[in-house]
């Protein structure tokens, strides 16, 4: 009998997991809380390990065709002085691509069920694992939400209603008749709730729903996230005359800027800076310009040339509680749901692709319980080492506000030979498919 899986989240991780499980012969449903599936964000750098995982997922060649392949051009001070020369080894090449382009390649027409917000999860310790979803909750303007509000208005005009239904009314709904509340039967309450909530069972539940994962919150309730002390702007624009041919990184005081070419003749840039949590601006282009107004001319030029609609800003969070395992009976976490880390190493997406490829291969070759045990052994230690390294690196970049520490960091970059740094990076990023490790 074909085994079934529910994948919570239709981002890069969820779609990658769907590919891996379908290749293993599983029947998959992908649930997404948002009213529509969109490839959000800016660019993503795919390193050798991520590309190897995408090869296992059957999308590596499509990425090679669409992405821009280039070697890192080096690390510079905020004024443009070189700190570290560019890499030369072919294995150091990065394939840079817009997230929406990669999202489309991973989805490839796959059906995704939208407007399905997960509000509860059970593992398989007492039966089959399941998720409880709320229909139409993600978007008040979705068709499901509008239909549900109209049904409530109709009932409020004289139909018996229960107190439990009153608590799920949304702003703008008509008030409930209090006398009718007291006369509502339990059957009527259950009927109304059943129209809004649905519990779905499967053999496996995959939590691929990001750092604020509903799956993790339900089954790993003690895990907490932590604000890094930094915010980040992301922008995309058409290539300029002074745009780089490869990845270029600039380090300043409590800030970092990077940029690289991506598909469509475009450039993707990111700008991280120390900031209080929750700060936003009406004009984020101007806010980024103001923060980096004394940096190298090419940094300022790329920020200023970015259209307002092509820039996003978000605070940087990570999963502060290291999970002892990423699995429960019949449930598995991957990507940011399992090991959300700071973007200082550029490995969040690449490790997510490793997760998805590993899970699919193990489910193809082993029973479910054995595959989950092996998944934990393969993924927990490796991903948490990257979490630790990303935090340590952040302490020398976006958290380095003392000029003495900034000078020491710059000196360390000057002292480390480029070839040595490249060899270390190759070793750190090395990933082997489970097909070749058993």
The model's pLDDT over 299-347, given as tens digits with 9 standing for 90+, comes to 999 999 999 999 999 999 999 988 999 999 999 999 999 999 999 999 9
Within 8 A by CB and 6+ apart from 250, the residues are 75, 76, 77, 78, 80, 256, 257, 258, 295, 296, 299
pTM score, whole prediction? 0.86
Instruction: State the pLDDT at residue 179.
Output: 55
Say if residues 200 and 324 touch (Cβ distance below 8 Å): no
Say if residues 255 and 243 touch (Cβ distance below 8 Å): no
Within 10 Å of residue 325's Cβ, how many Cβ atoms? 16
Instruction: State the pLDDT at residue 216.
Output: 97
Average pLDDT over residues 149-160: 48
Compute the mean pLDDT over every residue in the chain, rounded to the nearest whole number: 88
CA dist 100 and 38 (Å) reads 7
CA distances from 48 to 52, 70, 187, 360, 427 (A): 6, 12, 57, 19, 11
Tokens of 402: 């003392």
Average pLDDT over residues 250-274: 97
Query: Tokens 């090991």 sit at which residue?
Result: 339
Residue % of the chain over a pLDDT of 90: 70
Q: Is the pLDDT of residue 175 over 90?
A: no
Q: Is the pLDDT of residue 222 over 70?
A: yes
Alpha helix segments (H runs only) across 134-242: 143-156, 163-166, 178-182, 186-196, 214-219
CA dist 325 and 418 (Å) reads 36
DSSP string, 388-406: HHHHHHHHHTTT--SHHHH
Q: Between 2 and 59, name the one with better pLDDT.
A: 59
CA dist 346 and 278 (Å) reads 23
Instruction: Report the 3 state secondary structure along 260-282.
Output: EEECCCEEEEEEEEECCCCCCCC
pLDDT digits (tens, 9 = 90+) for 356-370: 999 999 999 999 999
Instruction: State the pLDDT at residue 138.
Output: 43
Residue 436's pLDDT band (boundaries 50, 70, 90)?
Answer: confident
Instruction: State the pLDDT at residue 161.
Output: 39
Q: Is the pLDDT of residue 416 over 70?
A: yes
Within 10 Å of residue 99's Cβ, how many Cβ atoms? 21
Residue 196's pLDDT band (boundaries 50, 70, 90)?
Answer: confident
**Residue of 199, 195, 194 whose CA lies nearest to 131:** 199
Q: Between 46 and 182, name the one with better pLDDT.
A: 46
Q: Is the pLDDT of residue 182 over 80?
A: no
What domains lie within the chain, and their CATH numbers? 4-113+206-436 (3.50.50.60), 130-201 (no CATH)
Instruction: State the pLDDT at residue 181.
Output: 53
Within 10 Å of residue 151's Cβ, how many Cβ atoms? 14
Tokens of 435: 């097909």
pLDDT digits (tens, 9 = 90+) for 108-147: 999 999 999 999 999 999 999 999 998 865 444 445 545 5
Q: Is the pLDDT of residue 188 over 60?
A: yes
* Residue 152 φ/ψ region, left for φ over 0, alpha for ψ in the -120 to 50 degree band, beta for the rest: alpha
Instruction: State the pLDDT at residue 259.
Output: 97
CA dist 32 and 47 (Å) reads 27
Edge-first strand order for the sheet with 225-238 is: 82-85, 74-77, 248-252, 255-262, 266-274, 225-238, 311-319
Q: Is the pLDDT of residue 94 over 90?
A: yes
Residue % of the chain over a pLDDT of 70: 85
Instruction: State the pLDDT at residue 137.
Output: 54
């Amino acid at each position: 009998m074909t085994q079934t899986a529910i994948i919570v989240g239709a981002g890069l991780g969820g779609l990658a997991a769907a590919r891996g499980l379908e290749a293993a012969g599983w029947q998959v449903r992908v649930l997404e809380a948002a009213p529509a599936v969109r490839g959000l964000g800016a660019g993503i750098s795919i390193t050798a390990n991520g590309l190897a995982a995408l090869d296992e997922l059957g999308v590596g060649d499509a990425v090679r065709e669409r992405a821009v392949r280039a070697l890192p051009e080096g690390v510079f001070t905020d004024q443009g002085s070189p700190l570290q020369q560019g890499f030369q080894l072919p294995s150091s090449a990065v394939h840079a691509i817009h997230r929406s382009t990669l999202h489309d390649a991973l989805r490839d027409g796959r059906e995704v069920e939208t407007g399905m917000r997960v509000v509860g999860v059970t593992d398989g310790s007492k039966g089959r694992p399941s998720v409880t979803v709320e229909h139409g909750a993600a978007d008040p303007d979705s068709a499901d939400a509008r239909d549900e509000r109209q049904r409530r208005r109709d009932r409020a005009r004289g139909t018996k209603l229960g107190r439990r239904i009153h608590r799920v009314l949304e702003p703008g709904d008509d008030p409930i008749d209090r006398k009718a509340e007291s006369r509502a039967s339990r059957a009527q309450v259950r009927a109304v709730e059943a129209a809004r909530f649905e519990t779905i069972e499967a053999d496996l539940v995959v939590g691929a729903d990001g750092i604020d994962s509903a799956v993790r919150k339900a089954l790993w309730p003690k895990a907490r996230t932590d604000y890094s002390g930094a915010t980040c702007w992301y922008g995309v624009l058409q290539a300029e005359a002074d745009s780089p041919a490869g990845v270029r990184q600039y380090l300043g005081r409590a800030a970092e800027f990077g940029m690289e070419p991506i598909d469509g003749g475009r450039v993707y840039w990111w700008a991280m800076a120390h900031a209080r949590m929750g700060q936003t601006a009406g004009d984020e282009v101007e806010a980024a310009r103001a923060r980096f107004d004394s940096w190298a001319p090419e940094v300022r030029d790329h920020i200023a040339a970015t259209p307002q609609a092509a820039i996003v800003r978000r605070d940087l969070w990570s999963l502060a509680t290291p999970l002892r395992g990423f699995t429960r009976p019949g449930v598995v976490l991957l990507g940011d749901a399992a090991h959300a880390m700071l973007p200082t190493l550029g490995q969040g997406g690449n490790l997510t692709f490793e997760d998805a490829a590993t899970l699919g291969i193990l489910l193809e070759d082993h029973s479910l319980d054995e595959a989950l045990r092996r998944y934990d052994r393969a993924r927990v230690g490796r991903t948490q080492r990257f979490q630790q390294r990303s935090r340590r690196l952040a302490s020398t970049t976006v958290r380095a506000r003392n000029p003495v520490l900034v000078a020491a960091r710059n000196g360390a970059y000057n002292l480390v030979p480029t070839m040595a740094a490249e060899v270390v990076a190759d070793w750190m990023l090395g990933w082997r498919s489970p097909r070749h490790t058993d």
